[in-house]
Structure 1
Amino acid sequence: MEQHSELVVLAKLTLWVAMSMTYVRFAACRVKPGVPRLLSLLPVVCLLPFLPFHFSSLHLRGISAFFLAWLALFKLLLLCVDAGPLSAPLPFLPFLASAALPVKLIDPLHHHKRKSPSISPLLPAAAKAALLSAVIPFYRLKDVMHPYLLLSVYCIHMYLALELVLACAAGAAALFLPRGLAIEPQFDAPYRAASLQDFWGRRWNLMVSAILRPSIYLPVRARFGRAAGILATFLVSGLMHEVMFWYITLAPPTGEATAFFVLHGACLVAEGAARQAGWWRPPAAMATLLTLGFVVATGFWLFYPPILRSRADEVVLAECAAAMAFLEDAGRAVIAWVR
C-alpha cells in the first residue's frame, strides 16, 4: 500500500515537472537572458526544491532532490544567462528530457567524433541491478562484519545504486530523442581512475561535472585562475552534497561533506602542481590503487559518518528489502497471470 501511494506521488510530481519545464521552454524563447529571464523562471526555480518533500521514501526523496533541487535548478540558472545544456536549440521533447533528467545531450554536429554506444542503455542498467541485488544480501551479516568491510560494501552499494539510477534516467530520456541526438555517458569506469583529476573530472558522475564546470569553474577560473576555480567548484559541490544529505536524513548539515570535497579540491590542486613540477609519477596500477584508496579512506572519515549517525543506512536497507519483496510479488503475479 505504501509503495502504491509513493507511485501516485511520483506520477503527480512527474506531471508537475513536465508542466513546469514546458513553461520554462516557452518563457525562455520569449524573454531575453539576464534579470528578465530570471524573473520569468523564478516560479519554477522556487518550486523545484520543495517537490522532493512530497515523498516519504528516502530513496525517492533523495533521487528527486538530486534531479530537481540540484541539477535541474542549476540548469535553469544557467539558462537565465543563456548558458548550459538548455541554451542550445532543442526540440520540445528533448528539451523536457534534458531539463528534468540528469542527462547531457551530445551535440549532433560533433556526434560522429564520439563512440556511439552499440547496446541499449537499459542493458547496463540491468547489469547494475543484478549486481546490486547480489550486494544487498551481504547486509544480513553486518552485525559480524568488520566496520571497514561494511563501509566498503556501502561504497559498492552507493556506486551501483547511483549508476543504476542514472542509467535508468538515461534510458527514459532516450525515448524522447530523435535520431542524431545521443546521451553522454554519466560514468566512465571510475574504478580505473589513475589520479584525482581523472576520477572527478573524467570518470565519476560526469553530469555533475558538466553542470559545475560552466556554472562555477569557468567563471571563477577566468577571474582568479585555475586553482581558485577548482577550489570553488569543490566547495560548491560540498555544499550541495550537504543539501542532498539534508533531504535524505532530514537532519541539520554537519559540514563533513563540505570538508570532504574541499579536501579533495585542495589535493587535486596539489596533484596538478606536482605534475607541472615534474615530480615522480607512480606506475598506472599503483596510481589507481592510491587514488581509489584515498577516495575510500577519506569517504570513511568524512563522507559516510553523517549518514550512519542519522541511521539513514538502516532506512535504505529496509526500503531495498521492501522494494525487492514488491518486485518478487509482482513477478509472481505476472507469472500466475501468464499461466
Structure 2
Amino acid sequence: MAHHSVVTIPLAAAVAMLYARLVATLPPPCPRAGDRPPPHTPFTAPLYSTRGIAAFFLVWLGEFKLLLLTSGRGPLDPALRPIPFVFTATLPVKLLPQSPDAAAGAENVALSFLRVAIMVALLQVFHVKDQMHPYAVFALYGIYIYCFLDFLLPCLAALGRALGMGLEPQFHKPYRSASLQDFWGRRWNLMASAVLRPAVYVPVRAGLGAPAGVLATFLVSGLMHEVIAYDITFRLPTGQLTAFFLLHGASVCTEKWCARRWPEYTRLPRVVGTPLVVLFVVGTALWLFFPPLFGDGMDDRFIAEFNALLASLVDAGGTLLQLAGI
C-alpha cells in the first residue's frame, strides 16, 4: 500500500468522511459520526513529508472536526453537499459565506511564486547546513515550513474556488503579530484555533475559568503535535513539543494578566511588540519545537525528499517545454 499511498490515503479519508456525513444525518440510536473516526492512515505513507501532512490534516484536525460534528458544532455541517463536506473535513480549510474577490486570488498567486522561490533557495542553502549553527539551520527549517504551508493552503483555496467554494485564509501575516494572543488567536493556523476553541477552550473555561481553558487548549495542541511527530519520525515522544505549547499557554495567560493589571504599560507599539513576539516564538521553537522533528538526522531525510521532488518538477517542466517545442 505504501507505493500507492498518495492515492489510497485521500480515498480512504474521503470514504470515511462520507460515512461520517451519512451517519450524522441519522436519528438516534443510530451510530454517530464520531463512533467511526477516520482511519489512522499516515503510517501507510512512505515519505517523511507525506506522513506529516496526512497526520496534520487527518489525525489532528480531521478527528477533532468529527468530534465537534457529534455534538452539532462546526465547522462541519452534514447538510453540506458531499464534495464541500469532504473538502472541509479532510483539509485544514473553512468555508466562507461568499467567494473571495479575484484581486485577492491574484495576490495569493503572486505570493505563492515568491514562496516557491524562497523554498528553492533554501534547499540550496541546506546543502551546506553542516557548516552552520544548529539553531540557524532550525530557523531556516521554520521559514521553509511556513513558506510550504502558506503555499500549500492557497493552492487548496484555489482548488476550492474552482469547485465553487470560498475558503478562509489559514495564516494572516503572523510576522506582524503585536502579542502572543494576536499570534495564536488571530494569525497562526486559524483552522486549529477554530477547532480547539469549541472543542477544548469553551467547555474548560465554563467549568474552570479562562486561564484553565487557555492552558488546556495549549496542552491538547502540544499532545497532538507529539502524535504528529511520532507519525513522522516513528520515535517515542520526548515531551518537548508539549512543553513548547504549555510554555506558550502560560505566557498567553501571563500576558492577559499583565494587560489587566497594568494596561497603560503593556500596550506596546507595534514597532516594539512585534519584534518581541517574533523573538519569543522563534527562540522557544528553536529550543523545543524543531529538535524533535528535525534532530538526529531526520532533517537529512526531509531535505532529500524535497530535493527529489524539486528534481521531478524540473524534469516534468522540461518535458512539457520540449513537447511544446520551446
> How high is the TM-score relative to the length of structure 2?
0.92
Q: Distance in 2 between matches of 1:174 and 1:100?
A: 16
Corresponding residue for residue 225 of structure 2: 241
* SS of residue in 2 equivalent to 1:182: coil
Letter in 2 for 1:48: P
Contact 2:23–2:30 (CA under 8 A) maintained in structure 1: no
- Structure 2 alignment gaps of length 5 or more: none
- Aligned counterpart in structure 1 of residue 310 of structure 2, from 324, 328, 331: 324
Aligned to 1:252: 236
2:261 to 272, 277, 283: 277
Does the alignment pair 1:146 with 2:133?
Answer: yes
* Whole-Å separation in 2 of the counterparts to 1:278 and 1:41: 44
Q: Is the 8 A contact 1:37 1:80 kept in 2?
A: no
Matched-pair contact (CA < 8 Å) for 1:48–1:73: no
Q: SS at the partner of 2:104?
A: coil
| Unmatched 5+ stretches in structure 1 | none
Quick check: 1:48 aligned with 2:34? no
Amino acid at match of 2:35: L
Amino acid at match of 1:297: G
AA matched with 2:144: H
Match of 2:65, SS state, is: helix
Whole-Å separation in 1 of the counterparts to 2:153 and 2:104: 18
C-alpha distance in 2 between matches for 1:88 and 1:266: 36
TM-score normalised by structure 1 residue count: 0.88
2 CA distance for matches of 1:267 and 1:317? 33
Match of 1:183, SS? coil
C-alpha displacement of 1:149: 2.3
Contact 1:65 1:244 in 2 (8 A): yes
Alignment of 1:81 onto 2:71: yes
Amino acid at match of 1:76: L
Query: Which deviates more from structure 2 when the two are superposed, residues 167-176 or residues 273-282?
Result: 167-176
Q: Is the 8 Å Cα contact of residues 34 and 69 (structure 2) preserved in structure 1?
A: no
Aligned residue pairs total 321
**Are positions 1:62 and 2:52 aligned together?**
yes
Q: What is the alpha-carbon distance in structure 1 between the residues aligned to residue 35 and residue 114 of structure 2?
A: 40
> Per-residue deviation at 1:213?
0.7
CA deviations 1:133-164 (Å, max 9, x no partner) are 12221112212223332222122112112222
CA–CA separation in structure 2 for the residues paired with 1:66 and 1:172: 19
Is the Cα–Cα contact under 8 Å of residues 118 and 147 in structure 2 kept in the other structure?
A: yes
How far, CA to CA, are the matches of 2:71 and 2:135 in structure 1? 46
Q: 1:217 aligns with which of 188, 191, 201?
A: 201
Seen in structure 2, the aligned counterparts of structure 1 residues 231 and 138 have a Cα distance that, compared at 3 Å, is: same
Question: Aligned partners of 2:283 and 2:241: how far apart in 1?
Answer: 14
Could you tell me which of 11, 15, 25 is aligned with 1:15? Answer: 11
Matched, 1:264 2:248: yes
CA deviation profile, 1:267-318 (whole Å, cap 9, x unmatched)? 1000001001125133211111111100111111111121233422111100
- Paired letter, 1:175: A
- 1:128 counterpart = 2:118: no
Give, in whole Å, the separation in 1 of the partners of 2:181 and 2:291. Answer: 25
CA contact (8 A) 2:95 2:166 kept: yes
Query: Residue 116 of structure 1: CA displacement?
Result: 8.0
Q: Cα RMSD (Å) of the superposition?
A: 2.1
The answer on whether the counterparts of 1:102 and 1:169 sit within 8 Å (CA) in structure 2 is no
**1:192 aligned partner:** 176
2:155 is equivalent to residue 168 of structure 1: yes
Secondary structure of the residue aligned to 1:21 is helix
State the distance in 2 between where 1:167 and 1:312 align.
Answer: 27
- Structure 1 position 64, deviation (Å): 0.8
State which of 274, 280, 285 in structure 2 corresponds to 1:299: 285
Is the Cα–Cα contact under 8 Å of residues 200 and 217 in structure 2 kept in the other structure? yes
**Which letter does structure 1 place at the counterpart of 2:52?**
G
* 4+ long deviations beyond 6 Å: none
1:199-214 alignment to 2 at 5 Å?
199-214=183-198
Q: Which moved more, 1:232-241 or 1:322-331?
A: 322-331
Shift of 1:131: 2.1
Match of 1:24, as an amino acid? A
